[in-house]
Structure 1
Amino acid sequence: MSLQISSVDAQNLRLMAFDVDGVMTDGRLYFTPEGEYLKVFNTLDGHGIKKLAASGVTLAIITGRNTPMVAKRAADLGIEHVIQGREDKGVALAALAEELGIQARETGYAGDDEPDVSALQWAQLSFAPANAHACAREAADHVTVARGGEGAVREICDAIISHRSRA
């Protein structure tokens, strides 16, 4: 089953931003005995992100945490725009879009919890993973079949790419 999004929205999309915890990961944090923590990223999602970038969409990460592993993952995927340590994600998304000369109607966002709601509402095309908090699922235009960290990002990317090619 694939997401049924508007081909017009997909074709107009110039910027797609993703939250990290609960979207690009399953939301769990793994702590070492030294108190450091690890995140686990899905390689299928990574490939989807690379394909979406190749289709001409600018990619961004907006996350509430500030960690070197997010910067590393973004660099590995070629994501230039990484905004960390921001709880005001709608404000961060709008500011990034303005900086890039992109309007809300050309912007997409994927998030899974309360800090994401303003960004989900601001973007023209918004997504929440299947296991997102109810507030994010209600704010999003589309809810994936896959859970965060388990292919939700790939599902989003594939749907956008598929609908971009139809327009």
Structure 2
Amino acid sequence: MSTDLMQRARRVRLMAFDVDGIMTAGGLYYGPDGEAFKVFNTLDGHGLKQLARSGVTLAIITGRNSAMVARRAADLGIEHVIQGREDKGVALQALADQLNFAAHEVGYAGDDEPDVPALAWAGLALSVPNAHDCAKQAAHAITTRNGGDGAVREMCDLIISARQGGKA
């Protein structure tokens, strides 16, 4: 981990995540009655719980409205869930202001064009290998794992390690 990335990760007090493409692989599965399904990774869930236990406030900011996202957030104890927002940069800044966090204390993980303003504003911007190029270019780091396949866990581990002085 570079010194710059370590310093950025060490300062994170609020970490926000997009859902589709970050917390999931980005696929949408529809049942016969039109209900949508999302698949979440249990490794990611454990990483999120560990990150919260380390003192980092967690948030979800997503462009879709989904009962499944609300349920997953509740299961993980994530209180700050912002759904139905394409203006993710504005939403992230408003949440940070509400919680009294400066930009350098905020991390954001996203994978597509609507995420770019939030990635550009956050002190720590993370993305995944299967993200759109615009999101990867805005990120300070790209995980080795794809969204929905342990990328969130990798992000959590990075922040926890940095907050512990680089000790894994």
TM-score, scaled relative to structure 2? 0.95
Deviation of the 1:163 alpha carbon: 1.0
Give the equivalent residue in structure 1 for 2:96: 97
Is residue 67 of structure 2 the alignment partner of residue 38 of structure 1?
Answer: no
Alpha-carbon contact 2:17-2:108 (below 8 Å) kept? yes
Amino acid at match of 2:145: A
Q: Partners of 2:121 and 2:6 in 1: how far apart?
A: 19
Q: Partners of 1:10 and 1:107 in 2: how far apart?
A: 9
The alignment yields a C-alpha RMSD, in angstroms, of 1.1
Is residue 117 of structure 2 the alignment partner of residue 118 of structure 1?
Answer: yes
Classify the secondary structure of the residue corresponding to 2:25: coil
What is the count of residue pairs matched by the alignment? 165
Give the equivalent residue in structure 2 for 1:47: 46
Classify the secondary structure of the residue corresponding to 1:118: helix
After TM superposition, the runs of 4+ consecutive aligned structure 1 residues lying more than 6 A away are none
Q: Partners of 2:5 and 2:139 in 1: how far apart?
A: 14
Deviation of the 1:11 alpha carbon: 2.4
User: Identity over aligned residues, as a percent?
Assistant: 66
Q: Unpaired runs of 5+ in structure 2?
A: none
Deviation of the 1:25 alpha carbon: 0.1
Q: Partners of 2:6 and 2:140 in 1: how far apart?
A: 14
Deviation of the 1:153 alpha carbon: 0.3
Give the equivalent residue in structure 2 for 1:15: 14
Is residue 14 of structure 2 the alignment partner of residue 24 of structure 1?
Answer: no
Deviation of the 1:62 alpha carbon: 0.0
Amino acid at match of 2:47: G
Is residue 71 of structure 2 the alignment partner of residue 72 of structure 1?
Answer: yes
Give the equivalent residue in structure 2 for 1:86: 85
Amino acid at match of 1:26: A
Query: What do the CA deviations read for 1:72-98 (whole angstroms, capped 9, x no partner)?
Result: 000000100000000000000000000
